[in-house]
Amino acid sequence: MVKRVVISLGGFYFDDAARIKRIAAALDELAESSSRGLGLYVVTGGGVLARQCISIARELGANEAVCDYIGIAITRVNARLLISALRNAYPEPFYDYDEVAAVRTVEDGKIAVMGGVTPGYTTDAVSALLAEYINADLLLNVTTVDGVYEADPRKYPGARKYDRITPGELVRLTAREELKAGSRIIIDPFAAKIIERSRIRTIVLDGSNPRDIIDAVVHGRHHGTEIG
């Protein structure tokens, strides 16, 4: 049984209110039905808005670290949007891992929400570091692709999907990716290294139906990729 789960939500959720409401309803349902004592931690991505702001900043001559800070700011805006739609969240987004680790999600019956933290990586890595820090037993990476592929299926439609991949294979697969601000990779290479060193059970799944998140957390059922 899962005791602590970190859910990394891709930025695509935050483009419209209806989608935010749907994901918030699923997360509230998870929190409310978890008399079983589930600690729920959610990390919000930056999405289209982050990419737009980063590309404007780059045109203005901003360096990558500045672009990263702009991306972080947007992920924190998205954290606030999600909190606005949740019934069971702490009222403020958390800014750092130790702040989150200090709260008592199970006893308080509340969901901890945070965006980005530090330049140089994405919220994939934030969620992996958070999962490691709080000893989560499950990390869910919720995205627009239904799992990890040998190559980006949006660019290479024939690419093979992995039902299961080892952390070491994931590290090798992601090592060739470029880590620029706003880049769109399924899992960033730094996150892959954290998953490898801490051996957190990780699932990458398509979040277009938020109920699939409940299924994955409560029943361990999913159609994504299992990393482990």
Residue 135 or 183 having the CB closest to ligand UTP: 183
Query: Please, which residues have CB within 8 angstroms of residue 176's CB and are 6 or more apart in sequence?
Result: none
How far is C-alpha 24 from the chain's CA centre?
14
Question: In this structure, what are the phi and psi dihedrals at residue 182, rounded to the nearest 5 degrees?
Answer: 75, 10
Residue 138 CA to residue 226 CA, distance in Å, equals: 11
Residue holding tokens 């660019």?
Answer: 155
| Piece of 89-97, 100-108, 160-168, 181-189 that binds ligand UTP (CB under 6 A) | 181-189
Residue 97 or 106 having the CB closest to ligand UTP: 97
Site membership for ligand UTP, residue 47 (CB under 6 A): yes
# chain residues binding ligand UTP, by CB under 6 A: 25
Residue 200 CA to residue 100 CA, distance in Å, equals: 18
Nearest distance, CB of residue 176 and ligand UTP, angstroms: 16
Nearest distance, CB of residue 197 and ligand UTP, angstroms: 18
Residue 69 CA to residue 210 CA, distance in Å, equals: 29
Query: What binding mask, one character per residue, do residues 108-127 give for ligand UTP by CB under 6 A, x or -?
Result: --------xxxxxxxxx-x-
Query: What binding mask, one character per residue, do residues 134-173 give for ligand UTP by CB under 6 A, x or -?
Result: ----------------------------------------
Site membership for ligand UTP, residue 209 (CB under 6 A): no
Query: What binding mask, one character per residue, do residues 70-109 give for ligand UTP by CB under 6 A, x or -?
Result: -xx--x----------------------------------
Residue 166 or 183 having the CB closest to ligand UTP: 183
> Given the rule CB under 6 A, which residues bind ligand UTP?
10-11, 45-47, 50, 67-68, 71-72, 75, 116-124, 126, 181-184
